[in-house]
C-alpha cells in the first residue's frame, strides 16, 4: 500500500545556522525497521531535491524509534540572512512527511487515519 | 547544598517574547523549587548589543525585571530559586534593575541576586585574533579576520559551574549572560544534589532535562504534530516541570489542572528539536549521548527519563559572534481569483524588471507564493486549480542600502501599475532591516574560564 510518511511517522525540525535538522519518529515501534530501511540519505536527498543544496546526514536513535537528518545548506544562509518565510526550517518536518512510501501488507494493516 | 532527593525545576520561558504569564503560573499554581527562564536565541545577543549601544543601562531581557517585581516576594517566601540568562550583554545592569524591584517589594536584607559575568569577549576579540585565535566560522571555515571590523557582539557559551557557585552562596535569583540554555536546568541539580563535576552520566541526564525544558510548552503539547488535535486546553497550557532525582533520573510533568499534554511521543518530538549528532550533544560541562535516553509513560502527563550516558567535556567552548551583513526587506501583496497565481507571477516579473532598469543590484531576490509554495517548495506540487487567492512575497538582500530602499518604494505602485484584483497593502512601505548575521566559532576554554566572575548582591 502506498502511503505518505505522515501516516506512519511524526517529527520536528529546527535550524542550526544554514542547516536544518529533521527528526522523524515512528508512530509505532513496528514501523521503525521500515524507516531504517527506506529513509536512506539518498532517498531523502532525492525527495528534497533543490531545497537542499548541501549534504544529507542521517543518525539513528533506536531508543526513540527515531532518525535524525541534517540537511546542510537548506536555509538560504540561515538565521537573519535568509530571505525565506521559513528561515528557521520549522516546516521541513512536514515537508519530509509528504514522502510517499510503499508499505508491506503487515505494516499497512497497522496504519490508522490521521 | 541540601540533602533532598527530589527537586522540581520549572520552565518559565522558551525564548524572549514567550508568554509573560507562564513563569507567574509556574510559581503560583503548584509546588516548584527552581524556575528557569531561557531568553537567548542565536541572534538575541546582537539585538541586545544594539540596545546597549544606544543606552548603556540596557542590553538585557527587559521583560525579566517587571516579572521579578511580580514574583520575587513569592519566590523568597516559598524558597523558589530563579535561574535566567536574562542578562544578555549587560548582566550587571539587569541585576541592578532586579535589586531595585526587590527593594520596592520590601525585600531589603532578604533577597540575594547572583550575577555571572565574563562571557562577553567583545573587548578582547582583537587581542585574541592577534594572538593566533582564528575563531573560524564553524559552518564555512572562514577566519574571523574576514569580518572583524563589522562585529556587533561576541560571547562565549558558558556552562553550569558559575551558576552552581551563585546558588551555593545563597542567591535567590541568578542572572547570567550567554550561558547555555540547558545549564539553566541542570545547574540547580548540581547544586541541590552536590554532583561531582566529573559525574558525566548524571550531568548528561541534566542536559537532557535542560533540552526538554528550554523551549517551554514545546515539551507539553505546543507545536506538536503528533498530538495537536488531541491536546486538551492549549489556551491554558502548563509549561513543563522537571522532577529530578539525585540519581540522575527524572520525570517530565506539569502542574495539575493546567492544559497541555505530556507523553512519550510529545517529549520525543522535543528531544529531536535542533538535534545534531545525537551521540555527541556537546555542552561546556559534559558530552551527552542522546541515543541512551529511555522514555517511559509514568501516568497521566508524566514521562520518566532514565539511562542517560555522558562523557568528559571537550577542551573548547563555543563562541557566538554577530556581525553586520548588509540589508534586507520583504514586500507582500495579495492577489484574488481569477488566475491569482498568474497575476502574482506577472507582478513579480514587472517588479524585477523595474529594479533592473534602475540598476539596483542585490545579492539575492527571492519570490514565494504564500498559500502555495512558501514552506514546501516543489514538494507542494502544482497549485490547486481555481485557487481563490495568493500572497506574493518578494524579499531582497544587498550590501547596498540604496538598492534595498529602492525595492521598498516599488511595491505599492504595483497596485495601480500591474495586474488587477490586488490588495493587502495597508502597512506602508516595507521596512529596511539591518542584517546582523551569526558567526559560530570555537575557542580554547582556558581563554574564557579564568575570566568568569560570580557576585552575589543583597537587596
> Which tens digit of pLDDT belongs to each residue from B106-139?
999 999 999 999 999 999 999 999 999 999 999 9
Question: What is residue B1's predicted lDDT score, i.e. its pLDDT?
Answer: 46
Tell me: the pLDDT tens digits for B23-63?
999 999 999 999 999 999 877 888 898 898 899 999 999 99
* Residue B348 in domain: yes
Are residues B163 and B176 in contact, defined by beta-carbon separation less than 8 angstroms?
A: yes
Whether B310 and B329 map to the same domain: the answer is no
Contact (CB<8Å) B274/A15: yes
Whether B289 and B243 map to the same domain: the answer is yes
**Pair type for strands B34-37 and B6-13:** parallel
* Residue B455 in domain: no
Contact (CB<8Å) A91/B440: no
Which of B225, B364, B371, B442 is most worth mutating to test chain A (most A CB atoms within 10 A of its CB)?
A: B225
- Rounded CA separation B211/B267 (Å): 10
Contact (CB<8Å) A10/B226: yes
* Residue B76 in domain: yes
Total domains, chain A: 1
* Residue B152 in domain: no
Whether B367 and B308 map to the same domain: the answer is no
Whether B64 and B207 map to the same domain: the answer is yes
The pLDDT of residue B392 is above 50:
yes
Contact (CB<8Å) A16/B276: yes
Share of chain B above pLDDT 70, in %: 99
CA-based nearest residue to B377, from A3, A7, A44, A47: A47
Q: Which residues of B touch A87 (CB under 8 A)?
A: none
Whether B269 and B352 map to the same domain: the answer is no
Range of the domain at B390: 325-439
* Residue A29 in domain: yes
Q: Which residues of A touch B378 (CB under 8 A)?
A: 49-51
Q: How far is A106 from chain B (nearest CA, A)?
A: 22
| CB contacts < 8 A (A, B) | 128
Whether B266 and B383 map to the same domain: the answer is no
- Rounded CA separation B86/B244 (Å): 24
Whether B384 and B405 map to the same domain: the answer is yes
* Residue A114 in domain: no
* Residue A76 in domain: yes
Q: Which residues of B touch A63 (CB under 8 A)?
A: 291-295, 307
Question: What is residue A79's predicted lDDT score, i.e. its pLDDT?
Answer: 86
* Residue B219 in domain: yes
Total domains, chain B: 2
Which of A12, A16, A55 is most worth mutating to test chain B (most B CB atoms within 10 A of its CB)?
A: A12
Question: What is residue B163's predicted lDDT score, i.e. its pLDDT?
Answer: 98
Question: What is residue B2's predicted lDDT score, i.e. its pLDDT?
Answer: 52
CATH code of residue B416:
3.30.70.2750
ipTM rounded to 2 decimals: 0.98
* Residue B447 in domain: no
Question: What is residue B3's predicted lDDT score, i.e. its pLDDT?
Answer: 57
Residue A108 sits at φ, ψ, to 5 deg, of: -60, -35
* Residue B404 in domain: yes
Range of the domain at A76: 2-108
* Residue B42 in domain: yes
Q: Which residues of B touch A49 (CB under 8 A)?
A: 378
The pLDDT of residue B386 is above 80:
yes
Residue B159 sits at φ, ψ, to 5 deg, of: -100, -150
- Rounded CA separation B42/B120 (Å): 14
Taking chain A (114 residues) in consecutive chunks of 10 residues, what is each chunk's mean pLDDT? Answer: 97 96 98 98 98 98 98 94 96 98 97 87
Share of chain A above pLDDT 90, in %: 95
What is the enclosing helix (H) or strand (E) of B82? strand B81-84
Three-state SS at B453: strand
* Residue A7 in domain: yes
Contact (CB<8Å) B269/A11: yes
Residue B394 sits at φ, ψ, to 5 deg, of: -115, 130
Q: What is the mean pLDDT of chain B?
A: 96
Q: What is the mean pLDDT of chain A?
A: 97
Tell me: the pLDDT tens digits for B204-250?
999 999 999 999 999 999 999 999 999 999 999 999 999 999 999 99
Share of chain B above pLDDT 90, in %: 94
What residue has cell string 539591518? B434
Amino acid at each position: 500500500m502506498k502511503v505518505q510518511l505522515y501516516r506512519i511517522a511524526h517529527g520536528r525540525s529546527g535550524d542550526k545556522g544554514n542547516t536544518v535538522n529533521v527528526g522523524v519518529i515512528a508512530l509505532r515501534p513496528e514501523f521503525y525497521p521500515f524507516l531504517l530501511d527506506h529513509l536512506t540519505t539518498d532517498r531523502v536527498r532525492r525527495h528534497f531535491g533543490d531545497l537542499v543544496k548541501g549534504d544529507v546526514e542521517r543518525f539513528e536513535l533506536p531508543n526513540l524509534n527515531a532518525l535524525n537528518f541534517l540537511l546542510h545548506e537548506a536555509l538560504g544562509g540561515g538565521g537573519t540572512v535568509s530571505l525565506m518565510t521559513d528561515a528557521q526550517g520549522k516546516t521541513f518536518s512536514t515537508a519530509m512527511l509528504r514522502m510517499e512510501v510503499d508499505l508491506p501488507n503487515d505494516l499497512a494493516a497497522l496504519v490508522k487515519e490521521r | 547544598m541540601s540533602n533532598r532527593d527530589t527537586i522540581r525545576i520549572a520552565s518559565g520561558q522558551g525564548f524572549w517574547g514567550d508568554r509573560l504569564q507562564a513563569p507567574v503560573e509556574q510559581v503560583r499554581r503548584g509546588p516548584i523549587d527552581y524556575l528557569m527562564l531561557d531568553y537567548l536565541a542565536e541572534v538575541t545577543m546582537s539585538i541586545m548589543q544594539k540596545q546597549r549601544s544606544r543606552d548603556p543601562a540596557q542590553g538585557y531581557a527587559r521583560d525579566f525585571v517587571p516579572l521579578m517585581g511580580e514574583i520575587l516576594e513569592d519566590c523568597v517566601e516559598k524558597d523558589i530559586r530563579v535561574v535566567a540568562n536574562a542578562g544578555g550583554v549587560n548582566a550587571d545592569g539587569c541585576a541592578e534593575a532586579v535589586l531595585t524591584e526587590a527593594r520596592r517589594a520590601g525585600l531589603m536584607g532578604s533577597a540575594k541576586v547572583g550575577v555571572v559575568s565574563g562571557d562577553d569577549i567583545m573587548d578582547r576579540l582583537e587581542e585574541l585574533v592577534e594572538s593566533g585565535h582564528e575563531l573560524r566560522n564553524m559552518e564555512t571555515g572562514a577566519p574571523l579576520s574576514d569580518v572583524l571590523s563589522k562585529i556587533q557582539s561576541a560571547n562565549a557559551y558558558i556552562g553550569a559551574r558559575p551558576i552552581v557557585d551563585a546558588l551555593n552562596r545563597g542567591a535567590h535569583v541568578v542572572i547570567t549572560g550567554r550561558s547555555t540554555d540547558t545549564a539553566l536546568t541542570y545547574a540547580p541539580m548540581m547544586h541541590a544534589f552536590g554532583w561531582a563535576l566529573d559525574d558525566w552520566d548524571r550531568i548528561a541526564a541534566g542536559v537532557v532535562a535542560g533540552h526538554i525544558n528550554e523551549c517551554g510548552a514545546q515539551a507539553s503539547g505546543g507545536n506538536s504534530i503528533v498530538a495537536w488535535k488531541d491536546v486538551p486546553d492549549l489556551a491554558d497550557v502548563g509549561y513543563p516541570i522537571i522532577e529530578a532525582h539525585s540519581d540522575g533520573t527524572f520525570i517530565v510533568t506539569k502542574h495539575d489542572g493546567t492544559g497541555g499534554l505530556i507523553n512519550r511521543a510529545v517529549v520525543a518530538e522535543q528531544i529531536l528539536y535542533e538535534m545534531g549528532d545525537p551521540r555527541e550533544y556537546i555542552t561546556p560541562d559534559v558530552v551527552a549521548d542522546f541515543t541512551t535516553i529511555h522514555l517511559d509513560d509514568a501516568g497521566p502527563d508524566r514521562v520518566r527519563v532514565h539511562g542517560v550516558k555522558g562523557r568528559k567535556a571537550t577542551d573548547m567552548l563555543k563562541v557566538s559572534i554577530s556581525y553586520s551583513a548588509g540589508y534586507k526587506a520583504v514586500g507582500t501583496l495579495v492577489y484574488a481569483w481569477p488566475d491569482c497565481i498568474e497575476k502574482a507571477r506577472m507582478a513579480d516579473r514587472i517588479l524585477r524588471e523595474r529594479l533592473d532598469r534602475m540598476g539596483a543590484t542585490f545579492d539575492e531576490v527571492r519570490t514565494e507564493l504564500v498559500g502555495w509554495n512558501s514552506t514546501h517548495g516543489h514538494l507542494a506540487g502544482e497549485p490547486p486549480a481555481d485557487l481563490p487567492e495568493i500572497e506574493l512575497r518578494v524579499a531582497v538582500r544587498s550590501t547596498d542600502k540604496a538598492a534595498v530602499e529602492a525595492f521598498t518604494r516599488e511595491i505599492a505602485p504595483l497596485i495601480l501599475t500591474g495586474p488587477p484584483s490586488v490588495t493587502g497593502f495597508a502597512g506602508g512601505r516595507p521596512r529596511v532591516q539591518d542584517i546582523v548575521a551569526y558567526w559560530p566559532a570555537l575557542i580554547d576554554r582556558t581563554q574564557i574560564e579564568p575570566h568568569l566572575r560570580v557576585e552575589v548582591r543583597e537587596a
